[in-house]
Every structure is written in C-alpha cells, then in structure tokens.
Amino acid sequence: MARPLRKLGFLTIGLFDAADPRRGHESTLEIIELGERLGFDSAWVRHRHLQYGISSPVAVLAAATQRTSRIHLGTAVIPLGWENPLRLAEDLATVDLLSGGRLNPGLSVGPPMRWDDVKGALYPDTADVEDFSYDRVERLLGFVRGKPATGFSGTQGFEVFSDRVQPQAPGLGDRMWYGGASLRSAAWAGKHAMNFLTSSVVKAESDSTDFAEIQLSHIKAFRAHHPDGEAARVSQGLVVIPTDSATAEQRAKYEDYARKRLPRTAGPQGPARMLFSPDFVGTSAEIADRLDAHEAFREVDEVAFALPFTFDHEDYVQILTDIAERLGPALGRSS
C-alpha cells in the first residue's frame, strides 16, 4: 500500500431510545472504553440535533475523558451553524484539558439541517443575519489558537479578566479537523492548516461518478493547499463491517443492511449531486483486498471506520473486535 495504516479509529452515532436515553449514552461510553482496550487510536462520535442520537458530543466526550486514558476522542462532525464559536471554544478547551490533550474536534459549516423548521427556535431574533460561511470556522479557530476575543484584559474590582478564551489548551489548535465533501472545502481546510475528515459521502462535482477517484481528488487538493503538504493529516471514514467472528444471524443482518443501502450508490443523489460509497461487508481479508484497490484509501494512513447506525451493542462489540484484531493487521497496522 502507498501509505501503511498508522492510526486506527472508529465512528459511532450513539443512537438511543427516547424512552430510555441514558442507556444509549451509556452504551456509547462503553463502546469507547472497549475501543481503548482493543488498542484503537481514536474514537469519534457523530452529532445529531432533534434526533435520537448524540446532540451534545462535547459533553459525552467529557465523560469519556474520565473513563479512558489513552485513546483520542473526536467529533465527526459538529455543525457550527448550531454553535456560538466563542462558547464552543471554551467547551472544547475545557474537555481537551480534562483529556490530557486527546480531543480532536471535527467541524463543518452551512445552515443547520431543516433550517426553515428550526430557525425560529435557534435564532429567533437573528436568523436572517447569521453567517454560516467558513468565517464561522475561522472565528472558532482563532479563539482556540489564542487570538484575542476582546480588547480588554486586567483587573476590575476583585475580578481578573483575560482577552483570550480561557482555559487555553496547548496543542488543541493543531488537532482541529474539517469534515468536507467538496474540492472547495478540502482546499479551504488545507489553506487554514486544519486536518481533513473525508467520509463515505462526496460531491460529484465533475463528470466522474467514481467515488474513490473523487475522494482522491479531494485529498490531493487538501494537501496541495496545506503548509505540511504530503504530511498533512487526512482521515477516511468508510462504513466497514468485518464478519470474521459474526454469527450467522449477524452476517445476515449486515448483508441485508448493506444491500438496502446499495441503490443509493448507483449515481449522484439530489441537486447537490451527493455520491455515496458502498458499505464494505465481508471477512477482514476480503475487506483488506477491496481497500487495497481503493485509490483514496491508498493515500491515507488514518481511518475512522463508521459503525452502522442501527445495530445492537453486541454487534458493535463484534465489529470493533474484528477490526482491531483482524482487519487492522491485514491493513498493515502493527499493534
């Protein structure tokens, strides 16, 4: 392979039952703990608002910092349209310090999903003037990297004020990731010295409908604009489901899941021409062969394989165990 696999991670959405939301959040924390025991380098959580998935990944990862000691913890991704960059910078720095420097915040921009339905609740007085452009990320980056937030610092009465976000978390500015699906976002992330998260969804902006080819073009654009060039960090997040130790019932479930999702991979979807990757289901040896032939995978040395949304806790245990013990070594990662 062009780049031997160096960092092995996974991504979970953290679904829960509305009747018992605590159990779902606890399951997510248990999965992260399992990931650390299995030797994963990173665990990432998705972000869902007004749905039955993790709405506050920073809070969940704060809890995870107290139950782990080594594994890196990431968000993939926080949609900044829902956030105040100054307040989020405070939260991220606090959790990074609690983790001992293990937080990897992944971000994205754009209007919140179902904007017309939520804008009255989210921004009742400012919806028409909110800026959902890359400038929102730049504000957050500046605060995290130590740019002044105000023009005042010093003592007023008994209170001591800083002109920078407090606390400051050394090194966090280098661990900020942008989740992008287009050439423009890839180039922007590179220019701003972020790391780049690429997933199982890309925009088919050219005539090509070859997923791996398009994803590879994004990776190359990112590195071409990044000050670190070919050494700039990229993580790939495909849906990968090894079946080595799965029961017959589990294998049937996994194959049915992938089969139902396959039609959407036939071509670009919707006005934005979003193109989806097929899910990778099979033995670790079979998946390793498919990934070895994947042009974009050959250009990365970090992955955050995505766990399917709707599986049971026991399924995730089996999948993560097979990834750590069989697929990782098959991809050239040494423990």
DSSP code of 304? E
pTM: 0.97
User: Do 189 and 220 form a contact (C-beta atoms < 8 A)?
Assistant: no
Where are any strands of DSSP class E within the chain? 7-12, 42-45, 72-79, 103-108, 154-156, 159-161, 177-179, 195-199, 201-203, 234-237, 240-242, 274-276, 280-282, 302-306
Instruction: Using 50 as the pLDDT threshold, list the residues of the chain that sit under it.
Output: 1
Q: What is the pLDDT of residue 3?
A: 80
Closest CA to 212 of 293, 295, 305, 301: 295
Closest CA to 280 of 332, 211, 182: 211
Q: Give the tens place of pLDDT for each residue, 22-34.
A: 999 999 999 999 9
Q: What are phi and psi of 11, to 5 degrees?
A: -130, 135
Structure tokens at 178: 């942008």
Domain ranges of the chain: 7-247+265-330
Q: Give the tens place of pLDDT for each residue, 163-173.
A: 999 999 999 99
Q: How far is Cα 190 from Cα 227, in angstroms, rounded to an integer?
A: 7
User: Do 4 and 332 form a contact (C-beta atoms < 8 A)?
Assistant: yes
Instruction: Classify domain 7-247+265-330 at the CATH class level.
Output: alpha beta
* Tokens 């994963």 sit on residue: 40
CA dihedral defined by 323, 328, 330, 335, rounded to 10 degrees? Answer: -130
Structure tokens at 174: 């280098």
Q: What is the pLDDT of residue 2?
A: 62
Instruction: Tell the burial category of 304 from Cβ atoms under 10 Å away from its Cβ (0-12, 13-18, 19+).
Output: buried
